[in-house]
Chain A
Amino acid sequence: MLEAFLFVGLPYAAVIICVAGSIYRFKTQPYSYSALSSQFLEGKKLMWGSVPWHLGITVVFLGHLAAFLAPDTWRLFLSSTHVLYTMEAIGLAAAILCALGLLVLILRRLTTANLQPVTTLMDLVVLFLLLIQVILGIMTAMSVRWGSLWSTETTTPYLWSLLTFRPDASFIAGMPLLVKAHLTGAWILLLSIPFSRLVHMFSLPLEYLFRPPQKVVWNAHPHHGSLKAAEDKEVTRRLFLKGAFGLTAGGVLLGVGVLDELYRFFRGPRLTQAEEADLLDVTQKRLKKNAEEKALELERLRDESIFVAKLSDLSPTKGKYFIDYQMRPALAFLGADGLPQLLSAKCTHLGCTVGSEVNAQGRLLCPCHVSFFDVTNGVPDAGSPAKDPLPKLGWVLVNEKGEIVLSRGPKGEVEGTLLGHEKETLSVHIAKRYVEALT
């Protein structure tokens, strides 16, 4: 029964009284239709109270309005947790700003002697009501978190049900007491508008934002110059305040963002086990590859000869890559004489690795700067950037027993004979004894 009154009866009553009362007051007391500024009586504290309050309440109001007017878009917008946190943080900061401003305003009303004659009971009531409402809002934000999200499913449909004259308080029936109190407070504040200084919100001079600058000169006074100077000072001060506020706000936002990112950067990622496993897998593969390279190096330091390929596996058109004694890439082909032909694959131009395919002209291509090399002797074509031939490598043919059958040095000196050996049983090795000759 009480809930039906608070959330259906009271809202309608409040709206009706607010609208009717405001119109009545405007008709009967048009000059009271303002906040009845007391800036002349006390200006300093007013600034520190009024500016934060109005700034804060504008931001908070816009947030409430967004959730009310476009709940779906708003929810979509907040679906990213970053955005949600940011919005909630902005809202909370604005609400705290409101509360601080209200506190200053209340203290000012209570303690400034100049203001006592013009302060009505209604002024104080409104101030305290607003403070309570703001504190309720802050408490809601802190204890029933992510109100910007859940409001789109609860209070927004409730408000729309009121607006479309199908009142349905069931949307908020299960809400915590805090939220209900905040809602009730809202209706009471709405109700109090026509009876208090709050009417000034209907006379918000929006056109003020767009009007051309104008200067009001009270009278042509001999001290006109000093008046202008004072006015200029006032304008400068306002510009400075605006600028300082903008910079501070921007700086705080930027600072928070940067600190957050820095914190997470230096904290390092927290990987899931699967991610950790993938990472270890990659690392291990690279380490293995590195170990294999080291093994090759070791083999080259120790062994007198190193296996390249079986003689029968070599092809005249497609080279087989291997690593020579200096850990440089090299290629093994089958020569026209049926014997191996071993060439360094390190381009003599700028050290790229030469390709392994022999083209129709019997040339090997270095892809970096398009040098062509004759596969039979390693000599580059005339137009190629490379001028020196690819060095030939010496080799030895080894039989199954590991005995050297035939060998050819880099300069073409041949030792031994193939006679009496099956070609299939022979394998091609590079030999350490030819290394000195090569360098």
Chain B
Amino acid sequence: MTKLKGNDFIEKVRTEIDQRLPLDMLNLGDLMAHKEVPKHRMSWAYYLGGFTLFFFIVQVVTGLMLLFYYKPTVSEAHASVEYITHQVSAGALVRNMHTWASSLMILSILIHLITTFAMKAFEKPRELTWVTGVALLLITFTFGFTGYLLPWNQIAVNATKIGLQTIEQVGHYLPGDLATWPRHLREIIQGEASVGQSTLSRFYAIHVVVLPFLIFGLLGVHLLVVQLHGMSKGVDEPAKGQEKFFPFFILKDFSAWGIAFLALFLFALCLPFESFFPYPLFEPYDALGSTPEGIKPEWYFFFMYYPLELLPFWLVMLGVNGAMVVLLFAPWIFKGSSRKTLRFLAVLAALYLFVMTVFGDKIYHLVKGVGG
């Protein structure tokens, strides 16, 4: 009797996995024939994943090009970045493209995340797509955080110091011996007592080897399940029609990529990313000097950074970690929610991200100005 039950269980697990990962569909004919893109008022959102992929490809290519000249040592990193910018032919362009595309990649991921949430694209059997997507988001943020340090300039090193210090701050809320763990964790990440050569080496290794391995693997799974399941329905009402992914939608995808590339190229050609910061922040890091003013993380961390500045630390940490958990388990938490509810939540989240990113600085000064 119990044996039979065991078989039932195994069978159940097997069908569950089979539903999530229908590998029997894994042949070129099926993959090309069956994927269709529904046409409805949210159809534009089906481009966002493709955009992200495109910017990722740009990152791989420009990143490899930068790798040919970059030197990951404390004394030479900044000089090598300067060398790339001023001496290497088209070096400034490649570097600008790398920074711009990193921002654009994160922007398109965020919009992709919000729209897929609003469209309930994580619905069964697409849980795996969603979870890998969230993991990819985290990896991309880590890419941004580690890449920021590599030029080894004032803003980079100081912002990294602050970023890593937040880990240590968690220790204040932990009891007993646990309180020292965050500090150990931080020292493991940075490799020594303060941010220095070991940190640079580690971040470099993470940025150019570890994360690419992870992202290639996860991206492979993500894209594979997208192919296997096809596009999600997206809206409650019936679609106005279907469009074959091959060759119609993919051609549209490619032309959108072309326009994106043109825009990126022009941006990179005309507008150095650094023009948004005061110049002294880009001087080489001086370990013995004092911290210059205006140290800020990249814009895509503002949604965490400004609350950290304004609210109690534990509250923000709770919020961020809570949001992460909710995000990761969204397919199960919002199993029964209607698309209408999800759209409302997505709009709220988008609004929060927009306000914090664009007006965070103003809010900060407003609150700080009144407070003291």
The interface of chain A, by Cβ under 8 A from chain B, is 261, 264-269, 271, 275, 279, 282-283, 286-287, 289-290, 293, 321, 323, 326-329, 345, 349-356, 366-370, 383, 385
Contact = CB atoms under 8 A, between A and B. Distances in A.
Given A279-B87, A283-B79, A350-B162, A328 B290 contact: no
Given A261-B90, A369-B309, 8 more contacts: A282-B79, A283-B75, A286-B78, A329-B290, A351-B162, A351-B194, A367-B290, A367-B293
Nearest to A388: B172
B74 A290 contact: yes
Nearest to B284: A286
27 contacts: A261-B90, A265-B88, A265-B89, A266-B68, A269-B88, A271-B87, A279-B79, A286-B76, A286-B79, A287-B75, A290-B74, A293-B287, A293-B288, A323-B288, A327-B287, A328-B194, A329-B288, A329-B290, A350-B166, A350-B169, A352-B290, A352-B295, A354-B290, A366-B291, A368-B158, A370-B368, A383-B372
Contacts of A267: 89
A192 B165 CA distance: 85
Contacts of A355: 290
Contact of A350 (B74, B90, B161, B293): B161
Contact of A269 (B89, B158, B169): B89
B57 to A, nearest CB: 15
A287 B83 CA distance: 16
A265 B61 CA distance: 13
Interface of B: 65, 68-69, 74-76, 78-79, 82-83, 87-91, 94, 158, 161-162, 165-166, 169, 193-194, 284, 287-293, 295, 309, 368, 371-372
A-B interface, 4 closest residue pairs, ranked by CB to CB distance from nearest: A352-B291, A264-B89, A290-B75, A353-B290
A289 B285 CA distance: 11
B290 A327 contact: no
A373 B287 CA distance: 22
A326 B78 contact: no
B107 to A, nearest CB: 25
B157 to A, nearest CB: 11
Contacts of B76: 283, 286-287
B180 to A, nearest CB: 12
Which of the listed residues B74, B166, B169, B291 has the most CB atoms from chain A within 10 Å of its own CB? B291
B284 A265 contact: no
A368 B194 contact: no
Nearest to A296: B288
Contacts of B162: 350-352, 368
Which of the listed residues A271, A351, A369 has the most CB atoms from chain B within 10 Å of its own CB? A351
Nearest to A356: B290
A327 B291 CA distance: 15
Contacts of B88: 265, 268-269
Which of the listed residues B83, B161, B287 has the most CB atoms from chain A within 10 Å of its own CB? B287
Contact of B165 (A290, A328, A351): A351
A284 B75 CA distance: 9
Contacts of A279: 79, 83, 87
A275 B79 CA distance: 14
Contacts of A265: 65, 88-91, 94
Contact of A261 (B68, B79, B89): B89
A369 B372 CA distance: 12
Contacts of B82: 282
Nearest to A267: B89
